[in-house]
Amino acid sequence: MKKFLLSIFLILTFFVVSCGNSKKAENDTGILPDEDAVDEDMTDKEAVEHDEEQDEDENITEYKNPCEQNPCKDFEHSTGNCVPVNETLYRCDCDKNYYWWGNKNGCIERKPELFNICTGQTKCYNNKKEIECPKEGEEFYGQDAQYAALGFCAPQSFTVKDSDVEEQKTVIDNNTGLEWQQKVVATDHIFWYSGESFCENMTYGGYSDWRLPTFTELSTILSYDSSPTISLNYFPDTPPDIFGTSSMFATNVLTIDFDEAALNNISLDNPEYDYAIPNYIRCVRGENYETEVDPDFMIEFGQGSDFENVLHGNPSMNLIWKIKYLHYHYEKKSWSEYLKYCEELDFAGLSNWRLPNIRELQAITLNGSYLNYGSSSTTVAWNPQEHFGRVQSKEETYHQYICITENPCVDGMVWNGEKCVENPCLPNPCKLTSASLDICIANPDGKYSCQCMPEYQWDSEIMDCVPKEDETPSPIPPD
């Protein structure tokens, strides 16, 4: 009996081995190819390439649509329409008079601030001409018009209002609520201090509560898609010329040139101008649009003097930004490289970076009427070889630039490079420090420091700015 069982076992063993050899033979002849096998005749280089191709195939993942479950249906005052930005970021369309403020805050009821209002640019450009807007990953992707189309700003919106008085129509800005005189007033050397009284004494469209607009208010009707830089559908008689405002910076009157959206200032100390606002005025009525923007705060990731590793932010703007400094004569960056750098930036645990449009750039860097640094994603539409910002040439420049992204945290919180934490800079403690510049630096450990005046330095023990004992260079890089 044992011999019989042994015979059966040997027969089965022989059968299994034979089948295995047969299958191997079939594989060797290509009848049942083994896709994971590496041919013995392959060279080392071919074998490595084969393995890399396999790895790539294994790493291919399906595109994830953040709108698949339609998160917008859960936000109050959302229309329910979800717009995917990338695999993780989306935007929701909001009801009238509501504005999208990120997936942490949803649709909020507030007037868009100047930097939230689209520039009016709807076309894309390369270094020389208008082009079809590129796709993500292609050269020149990340332009102003593309992010406007994705809903990153409130579209400009106007309504013409008829008047019982002939040729005295007004224009309502649906974003700001301001009402504008549609007809332009030629000043012909009206003195600056007379410009305000001119509007205040004017009766137009049946109203007598007109005033000279502030610099910010007049900026809201700028459109960067053509010259004159305004929508001629609503303001048809606007000449490409300089308009005055009621705002001043030191002894300068701030003006706007609607020929090329230039932000100018006229010195009252210069007798050449005879204290006059040149050329034109457009009066406005309605609640004052000026809004106070909270002081900047910064997050330090490196040494205080290493601004390459510092994250900047503004609580009221819902934006955070990173500055990249180019070393003069050593680094050369074209506009397309600016766009690409920001699009591919992965910094401080955030990856949805972009080059700011001109309004966002001004909100970050505007000091009076001067841009300190930076390049924008907004093209000079009537001269596509240039873009807006301090350095205008698209071909080449030697200057620092800024990448921005939306703050992923809710109000009162700040991103520390890994997560949202309580913002120690709210309310701003540096306002109570007489020798500070009112700029608060929120450290990742939850503490803060203040940026001090040049002759002072921060003392973390007493939490105050103290006189410097030696000539330590200021951490602020030269302009």
Which tens digit of pLDDT belongs to each residue from 220-253?
999 999 999 999 999 998 999 888 888 877 677 7
Considering the domain architecture, whether residues 100 and 29 belong to the same structural domain is answered as no
Considering the domain architecture, whether residues 129 and 195 belong to the same structural domain is answered as no
Query: What is the enclosing helix (H) or strand (E) of 60?
Result: none
Considering the domain architecture, whether residues 39 and 16 belong to the same structural domain is answered as yes
For residue 459, tell me if it sits in a domain: yes
For residue 472, tell me if it sits in a domain: yes
- Per the structure, the count of domains in the chain is 4
For residue 435, tell me if it sits in a domain: yes
Contact (CB, 8 A) for 242 and 264? yes
The larger pLDDT score, comparing residue 63 to residue 303, is at: 63
Considering the domain architecture, whether residues 94 and 198 belong to the same structural domain is answered as no
For residue 391, tell me if it sits in a domain: no
Q: Among the three residues 266, 285, 304, which one is the final residue of a domain in this structure?
A: 285
pLDDT at 353 over 80: yes
Over residues 255-291, the pLDDT tens digits come to 899 999 988 776 666 555 545 555 788 999 999 987 6
Considering the domain architecture, whether residues 125 and 177 belong to the same structural domain is answered as no
The most confident of the ranges 94-98, 134-138, 186-190, 388-392 is: 134-138
For residue 115, tell me if it sits in a domain: yes
Contact (CB, 8 A) for 319 and 344? no
Over residues 361-419, the pLDDT tens digits come to 888 875 443 445 678 999 999 999 999 987 678 887 656 778 999 888 877 788 888 88
Considering the domain architecture, whether residues 182 and 261 belong to the same structural domain is answered as yes
The percent of residues above 70 in pLDDT, for the chain, comes to: 71
- Per the structure, the complete domain to which residue 442 belongs is given by 410-479
Residue 426's Cβ-side half-sphere holds a number of Cα atoms within 13 Å equal to 15
Considering the domain architecture, whether residues 187 and 140 belong to the same structural domain is answered as no
Q: Among the three residues 244, 261, 285, which one is the final residue of a domain in this structure?
A: 285
pLDDT the model gives residue 374:
77
Considering the domain architecture, whether residues 42 and 87 belong to the same structural domain is answered as no
For residue 339, tell me if it sits in a domain: no
How far lies 425's CA from each of 360, 432, 449, in Å?
Answer: 22, 12, 9
The string over 308-328, giving b where at least 16 C-beta atoms fall within 10 Å of a residue's C-beta and e elsewhere, is: eebbbbbbebbbbbbbbebee
Considering the domain architecture, whether residues 76 and 54 belong to the same structural domain is answered as no
Q: Among the three residues 285, 320, 341, which one is the final residue of a domain in this structure?
A: 285
pLDDT the model gives residue 301:
74
Q: In whole angstroms, give the CA distance from residue 196 to residue 245.
A: 9
| pLDDT band at residue 24 using 50, 70 and 90 as cut-offs | very low
Considering the domain architecture, whether residues 264 and 209 belong to the same structural domain is answered as yes
For residue 343, tell me if it sits in a domain: no
Considering the domain architecture, whether residues 20 and 119 belong to the same structural domain is answered as no
Considering the domain architecture, whether residues 173 and 254 belong to the same structural domain is answered as yes
For residue 438, tell me if it sits in a domain: yes
Contact (CB, 8 A) for 455 and 468? yes
